[in-house]
Structure 1
Amino acid sequence: MFNDFKEVMTKEFEMTDIGEMSYFLGVEIKQAKDGIFMSQWKYAEQILSKFRMKDCKPVSTPAETSMKLRVNSNKESVNPTLFKSLVGSLRYLTFTRPDIMYALGLVSRYMETPKEDHFIATKRILRYIKEQKDQLADIFTKSLKMEVFQNLKEKLGMQSRI
């Protein structure tokens, strides 16, 4: 079926077959017999570098539980272009990271006139991403809670077989 489709498309459009997809638009793709697995770790690392957060202190949640952001905050204004760039980069990351969607939705409300506290809340999402990235690297070197282990196992595309 796929080969038939490819043949029709090649006749209709100028195309080149570059083989199996492994990386496209910031998404790493691993194709296996039992499914297709996607990750954006490289893209997440690029975002951390771009916003100089590679060496940041990681946090375990994307938003503070007592976070109160306001439109008319008395904090200093920040560069709206920089803020929009950060929020946009994180929005694209939600493709494989739905866990940051709520926190990102909160900070997205302040795109027009971002203040320092809005920027700090947005950078916290980056710190959370850093925590998740580091935790994934440590799956085989430290004991984990069962739910965390199951989550990591799923991200790695591992399955239990009995």
Structure 2
Amino acid sequence: MTSYKGVDHYATVRERVNDLFRSTESVQAIFDGVCAILTETLPHHTWAGIYLVEGNDLVLAAWRGPAATEHVRIPIGEGICGYAAAHGESIIVPDVSKDPRYLQCFAETRAEIVVPILAGDRVLGEIDVDSNQLNAFGAADQEILEELADRLASTILKGDRA
């Protein structure tokens, strides 16, 4: 996919993520790095977070964006994030104001995508990305985030989150 000025932002994300995974084995550094890469490389990704399943909750493990979210612990089944975790499926919300599941974090958020981090059928966590643009996310975003989720699942399973 090519975007503004012919730059393939998704290829840049893949390249930067490959470099990140080659440069460290620290699970926390990988989480932090993935969030940074998403918000720095994809202009419509204004906030990115990684939540991990702890018991019956999603717990924020890393984030990058203009401000912290108040939603650092979300019960599975609650909100868009909790729904994605409960059902183990990716969700694209073109307009958060029209989705009753949406838990508002930021007044400027207009769209959201949530992709579960899966090990088989087991949900380990998820990647949550917000945008301040309506209809910001499409198939290319889902594809790159699902690729990242697969890599994060392997990292979580072999790491200790240190």
User: Which of the pair has the greater relative contact order for Cα pairs under 8 Å at 6+ separation?
Assistant: 1
Whose helix fraction is larger, Structure 1's or Structure 2's?
A: 1
Common fold by TM > 0.5? no
| Length-normalised TM-score, structure 1 | 0.25
Whichever of the two has the greater Rg, that structure is: 1
Whose strand fraction is larger, Structure 1's or Structure 2's?
A: 2
